[in-house]
């Protein structure tokens, strides 16, 4: 099940409680209050945890290396990258075919993550044919799994409640519910992560 932005506004307003909206773009006080806080709620939610649905991988486009005395390669950071997580190399796709690219760099390299440096929209590393695992910046309402959406609309409800009603006790209660929902969503997301393989492929051993 997925929710539209209007759905999330109405779920939040029901918790306040306040009147529902027909459209997230309408000019009612309730819609304006939700719009005022929605972007911040979504941005902070994505930033708090590396949600599985928000993480993707991309083969990086190589650029002219302006720091060739420090790094072997330079790459363009994808335009939809909000936060880089790790450099992934092609061999991982072969070593872990069941969940290609889903394990984290530090896990697969037993704590020896591939180093890189960011400079604006350029990424420098010593890894050839690098693949970047990152959190994307184009998340919309319909991307959110139900439990993550719940954490969002409860946080939005708390902020809207304080703005529309000035009822501090209701705002505090909603903030508590939002924290609980966030933790529940994190637990569920962790349970859906693939287990880290115990074996270490020969190509990784050779790096040691």
Which SS3 state, helix, strand or coil, does residue 104 take? Answer: coil
Q: What is the pLDDT of residues 6-50, one digit of tens each?
A: 999 999 999 999 999 999 999 999 999 999 999 999 999 999 999
Tell me what percent of the residues of the chain surpass a pLDDT of 90: 72
User: What does the alpha-carbon distance between residue 27 and residue 33 come to, in Å, rounded to a whole number?
Assistant: 10
Q: How many CB atoms lie within 10 A of CB 147?
A: 17
**124, 155 contact by CB (below 8 A):** no
Q: Among 82, 67, 78, 79, which residue's Cα sits nearest to residue 117?
A: 67
What is the separation of C-alpha 1 from the centre of its chain, rounded to a whole number of angstroms? 19
User: What does the alpha-carbon distance between residue 126 and residue 74 come to, in Å, rounded to a whole number?
Assistant: 9
Q: What is the pLDDT of residues 98-146, one digit of tens each?
A: 343 344 444 444 445 789 999 999 999 999 999 998 999 999 999 999 9
Q: Which two tokens stand for residue 46?
A: 């994505």
Its pTM stands at: 0.80
Q: Among 144, 143, 125, which residue's Cα sits nearest to residue 133?
A: 125
**185, 46 contact by CB (below 8 A):** no
């Amino acid at each position: 099940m997925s929710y539209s932005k209007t759905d999330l506004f109405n779920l939040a307003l029901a918790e306040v409680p306040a009147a529902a909206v027909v459209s997230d773009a309408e000019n009612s006080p309730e819609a304006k209050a939700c719009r005022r806080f929605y972007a911040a709620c979504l941005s902070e939610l994505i930033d708090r945890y590396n949600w599985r649905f928000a993480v993707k991988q991309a083969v990086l486009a190589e650029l002219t290396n302006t720091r060739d005395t420090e790094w072997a390669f330079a790459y363009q950071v994808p335009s939809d990258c909000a936060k880089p997580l790790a450099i992934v190399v092609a061999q991982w796709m072969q070593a872990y075919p069941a969940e290609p690219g889903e394990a984290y760099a530090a896990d697969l390299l037993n704590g020896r993550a591939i180093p890189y440096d960011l400079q604006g929209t350029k990424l420098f590393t010593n890894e050839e044919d690098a693949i970047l695992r990152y959190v994307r910046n184009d998340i919309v309402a319909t991307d959110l799994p139900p439990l993550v959406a719940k954490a969002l609309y409860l946080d939005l409800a708390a902020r809207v409640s304080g703005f529309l009603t000035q009822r501090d006790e209701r705002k505090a209660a909603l903030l508590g519910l939002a924290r609980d929902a966030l933790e529940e969503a994190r637990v569920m997301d962790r349970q859906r992560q693939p287990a880290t393989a115990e074996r270490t492929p020969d190509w990784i051993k050779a790096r040691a």
